[in-house]
Structure 1
Amino acid sequence: MPAGIFKVCLVVIATIVNHPLLFPKENVTENTEGIIQKMKEREESLRLEQLKLEQEMAAQETLTKSSEKAKESEEQYTHDPLSWNFWTALSLVVFLLIELWRQDYQEGIWQDYGTEEDENAVLGKAFKWVLLPDKITLANFYERCIQNVTSEIARNRELVEGFADDLLEALRSVCNRDADMEVEESIGIGSMYENWRVQKPLACDFIVPFTPPEPYCFKLETWDSGESIPPDKQGYGMIKICQADETSTGCICDKTKLGEDLLCLLHSKMNQSRHNNHMENLLCYKDSQYLDSDQVMAWFQVALTKAWNKISHKYEFNLTFNLLDSPGALKIKFRSGKTIAFNLTPVVQYADSDVYFISHFPCSGLAEDSTSSIHWFLTFAVYEKRYLQFVSKMLPASSCHLSCLQILSFLHGKQCCLAGPSSLTNYHLKTVMLHLLQTHPSSDWASGFLEARLQDMLKFLEKSLHEKRLYHFFIGNRNLPEELGIPVAFQKAEPMNLFRPFVLQRSAYRKTMDMFHEMLRNTSALINEYTMHVPMGRASPLNKELL
């Protein structure tokens, strides 16, 4: 039996020594088919060795039956097969591990997300076979499909801004200042104010901060503040409505044991009932002090309707609600049939910063998780716009960062029209661009590097989808410039993975990956289809700039 174990060990050792992964110099001429053939031959030799050992053991068993130690021989016989099975299984496991290691090594192992030099140098499996058009074709495509669209943005934005201010002013006049929420000035955010919007309709997005009436105030709770927010609600918070003079300790009757005959006039059952009813009037969730986003949206829709009825006689167009489930999604319709869409979304300001609790995301700017109506998502849209303005001052003239985002957004939108909507949004695409802006030097974003930077964005996005990991640009990012004024608590928080839903939602992940790979395969065809033909010897100004 020791001889049999020795033979098995020799086979395993020979397999390891002759493996092409461990000694590539001696096996560089062997191709994949030769390796597979050798593996089959070794498997056959192992099987023959096993049969030979079983025959030897059977012969040994017949010789020992007539001896006086038959019982000991039987015990030895019962243990030997177990020993043989153990060594056989061990050799096969070792061989299998080496083979799996070889396959992983040949296919390429993805690098860590945090590396700067290697993360963009790693080509994805699907991107290897994608051939992007040349600089001239990209320039023609940009001029034909994108540059003409962006010229309409300024005109629409100026019209909508003036009308939104007038509508909100009318809203303030129709609201009860003693009972209703107080609406502040609107703030323009999103792609229309960051100058990269390419998909129609060219809808302007506004956030409208609001505050409770006196003597109430908002007490804000975030997921990282140690409050009663579940850990799976990263990026969310709750808004509690309290009286301005209310302290955390509450009334003195909570500290002192009153006699049975004594009653607190401030906290009697009747006053408590009135307090709860007033909280419901302040758009709170039932039997709680937390602001309810559903009630806020319903109130906002009613208030906008009253405001439009007050000022409709001043305008020669109609105003309608664009989406039923989004109270601030409005549409201006002229008599000529032309329409202009815009969104007014109620928000609550976080402390004295430009971070806001938002009730919902218009136009799927960021994918929303199904959650309760008292959990509000935090948006950094104002900081995103400010960061792009900050970076633009350090980039070369006519930099290509927004052009890359516009082209990628255009391709993504066309692919969604073909294959249907996916969980990949324009917000994810913008997050990819923000990460690359931080890791690449400013000189790399000159207009002549449009093709290279577009490739970087596609590779970065594929790598992030493969790893199911794309971090929020502001939450947990400690390398942001101090000039932005982002709250330190969010910079020191644990990084937030925007692709976390893909870990649990496998069907959505597979659909998104299929859509992305199909978009990569269709990239060249889509660009060529929408490219304007430029005659020989004649180039557009953008072409000359890229040459």
Structure 2
Amino acid sequence: ITDLMDNFAIYFGHVVSNTFYPLPTRAIGVGSAFEGWSPREEDVVYSVLVPLNPPQRHTFHLEPELDTAGQRPGRNFRVRVELECTCTREQQWENVLCFLHHPEEQLRRNQDPSLLHTLCTDSYLDVHKTARWFYQLVGATWPALPQSHNWHLVLLPSTRSCQFRVTNGNESFWIEMLFGVREGDTDIFVSSQPREVYTPRTTWPETYAVAEMKFFRHIARQAPPDSMHLKCLQFFTHVLLGIGFSTYTMKTIVMHLLGVIPMSRWRRRDFLQQLLYISEMLRSCVEERCLNHFIVGNRRLPEGISLPPEVQMAETRSLFYRLKQDPAAHSRAMSEYHEL
């Protein structure tokens, strides 16, 4: 998968260089498949986040959307696209026309349209348009990739990502290419991955997937060979299939416990004890209607995980905020816990 994504990145670069489309950079593997705890090994989805840089003569500005409830554990953004004045460069490059200061008719005749006219809606980068463009990009570059000689590509429908399967008769891999914009030089991005059932097409939710992947990588470096921390997480995600608690809830609980319980106590002999710890923490969080987000407001992350100050210093947000707002939801959650 990594080799395939690296090859895509190389050919994406060839295709979009010297255009006014976003510049995809090397994909980052995120989520359970790359963290080592996929709930269902027979149907693994390999999610990768493709960072996008603005094309030449454009800039990206991240604008946070107002959270009227003030409860959500993650922020939503819009990516405003602005054009740069290139008048001073026209003397150096004859074919450079300034998007801001040349007549539209002249621009139409002599230059490709700006990003504002291709993948944007009302000056904001449009997730749906970007996804369609990614599908075109994957389809156009696939024949040039070495993998195309032995593998078959099948594109799968999605409005907020580019999903496809590659098969060679014996093996099959389901890949989801998400795309995002990095917040500064940190490990936090805004991405195309939706957080709610309905996410507007110009909304880019903040994602902590890269920081979480780096946390699991940090833990793996410290873990003894027979560490069962991933097996514990995998066990609970299996148990919870069809029950109301999300896999992200269990992942968050395990990350919190990994942050406080020494790795020497996650060995094979400790497996049952750690399952009890996880179960007990879930019960306690449901009873108290509070499960703090692991990344937002966490000032004790390992060195090497970079957060924007407004994320690191933020007030902690609970994944269970709806349980406080809705007594019926809290009752259901307690019942679901007792069903485990």
Using the size of structure 2 for normalisation, the TM-score is 0.81
| Structure 2: segments with no counterpart, 5+ residues | 87-99
Aligned partner of 1:353 in structure 2 is 186
Deviations 1:262-304 (A, max 9, x none): xxxx679969x99xx845325222xx32222122112112221
Aligned partner of 1:468 in structure 2 is 289
* Paired AA for residue 49 in structure 2: I
Aligned partner of 1:243 in structure 2 is 83
CA distance in 1, matches of 2:102, 2:4: 48
Is 1:197 aligned with 2:66?
Answer: no
Aligned partner of 1:207 in structure 2 is 49
CA distance in 1, matches of 2:200, 2:46: 27
Alpha carbons of structure 1 residues 477 and 324: separation in structure 2 relative to 1, 3 Å: closer
Aligned partner of 2:135 in structure 1 is 301
Aligned partner of 2:209 in structure 1 is 381
2:28 pairs with 182, 187, 190, which one?
187
| TM-fit CA distance, 1:215 | 0.9
Alpha carbons of structure 1 residues 315 and 425: separation in structure 2 relative to 1, 3 Å: farther
Secondary structure of 2:201's aligned partner: coil
Deviates more, 1:343-352 or 1:231-240: 231-240
Alpha carbons of structure 1 residues 446 and 335: separation in structure 2 relative to 1, 3 Å: closer
2:117 pairs with 281, 287, 301, which one?
281
Is 1:437 aligned with 2:270?
Answer: no
| TM-fit CA distance, 1:404 | 1.0
CA distance in 2, matches of 1:439, 1:463: 16
Counterpart contact for 2:62–2:80, Cα < 8 Å: yes
* Paired AA for residue 238 in structure 1: R
| Structure 1: segments with no counterpart, 5+ residues | 1-159, 223-227, 247-265, 362-366, 521-547
Counterpart contact for 1:235–1:496, Cα < 8 Å: no
CA distance in 2, matches of 1:295, 1:325: 8
CA distance in 1, matches of 2:329, 2:2: 37
CA distance in 1, matches of 2:312, 2:18: 37
| TM-fit CA distance, 1:372 | 2.2
Alpha carbons of structure 1 residues 402 and 347: separation in structure 2 relative to 1, 3 Å: same
CA distance in 1, matches of 2:326, 2:12: 41
CA distance in 1, matches of 2:22, 2:304: 32
2:305 pairs with 481, 484, 487, which one?
484
CA distance in 1, matches of 2:18, 2:287: 52
* Paired AA for residue 212 in structure 1: P
* Paired AA for residue 297 in structure 1: A
* Paired AA for residue 437 in structure 1: L
| TM-fit CA distance, 1:381 | 1.7
| TM-fit CA distance, 1:507 | 7.0
| TM-fit CA distance, 1:499 | 2.4
CA distance in 2, matches of 1:471, 1:238: 25
* Paired AA for residue 290 in structure 1: Y
| TM-fit CA distance, 1:447 | 2.6
Alpha carbons of structure 1 residues 267 and 508: separation in structure 2 relative to 1, 3 Å: farther
CA distance in 2, matches of 1:183, 1:493: 30
Superposition pairs of residues 270-419 of structure 1, within 5 angstroms: 278=114, 280-285=116-121, 288-311=122-145, 314-325=148-159, 327-335=161-169, 338-360=171-193, 367-413=195-241, 416=242
Using the size of structure 1 for normalisation, the TM-score is 0.52
Give the RMSD, CA atoms, in angstroms.
3.2
| TM-fit CA distance, 1:453 | 1.0
Counterpart contact for 1:358–1:377, Cα < 8 Å: yes
Aligned partner of 1:493 in structure 2 is 314
| TM-fit CA distance, 1:390 | 2.3
Secondary structure of 1:204's aligned partner: strand
Aligned partner of 2:90 in structure 1 is none
Alpha carbons of structure 1 residues 321 and 465: separation in structure 2 relative to 1, 3 Å: farther
Alpha carbons of structure 1 residues 211 and 506: separation in structure 2 relative to 1, 3 Å: farther
Alpha carbons of structure 1 residues 239 and 444: separation in structure 2 relative to 1, 3 Å: same
Aligned length: 319
1:230 pairs with 57, 61, 67, which one?
67
* Paired AA for residue 219 in structure 1: H
Deviations 1:328-361 (A, max 9, x none): 221113335x422122111111101121111015
Secondary structure of 1:471's aligned partner: coil
Alpha carbons of structure 1 residues 447 and 328: separation in structure 2 relative to 1, 3 Å: same
Alpha carbons of structure 1 residues 467 and 343: separation in structure 2 relative to 1, 3 Å: same
| TM-fit CA distance, 1:490 | 1.1
* Paired AA for residue 460 in structure 1: M
Counterpart contact for 1:175–1:303, Cα < 8 Å: no
Counterpart contact for 2:182–2:188, Cα < 8 Å: yes
| TM-fit CA distance, 1:437 | 1.6
CA distance in 1, matches of 2:144, 2:58: 28
Counterpart contact for 2:13–2:23, Cα < 8 Å: yes
* Paired AA for residue 210 in structure 1: L
User: Larger radius of gyration, structure 1 or 2?
Assistant: 1
Secondary structure of 1:301's aligned partner: helix
CA distance in 2, matches of 1:411, 1:334: 32
Deviations 1:147-186 (A, max 9, x none): xxxxxxxxxxxxx222232233333333463222111111
* Paired AA for residue 212 in structure 2: E
Aligned partner of 1:517 in structure 2 is 338
| TM-fit CA distance, 1:407 | 1.1
CA distance in 1, matches of 2:158, 2:202: 20
